Amino acid sequence: MHTSNVVWIVVAVVVAILVIAAALIVSRRATQRRRRQQAEEIREQARLESARVERRQALADETAARARAAQAEAEAKAAEAARLQERAAAHHDEVAQSREKLQDQWQRADEIDPQTREPAENGGEPEHLRDPDRAGQDETAVRRSASS
**In angstroms, how far is the first alpha carbon of the chain from the final one?**
166
Plot region of 124 (φ>0 → left; ψ -120 to 50 → alpha; else → beta): left
Per-residue pLDDT of the chain (148 residues; tens, 9 = 90+): 688 899 999 999 999 999 999 999 999 999 999 999 999 999 999 999 999 999 999 999 999 999 999 999 999 999 999 999 999 999 999 999 999 999 999 998 888 886 765 554 555 455 555 555 544 545 444 444 444 4
The span from the CA of 117 to the CA of 128, in Å, is: 11
Amino acid at 86: E
Dihedral of CA atoms 111, 113, 114, 118 in degrees, nearest 10, equals: -60
Going by C-alpha positions, the residue among 109, 100, 97, 106 that lies closest to residue 128 is: 106
Q: Tell me what pLDDT residue 117 has.
A: 54
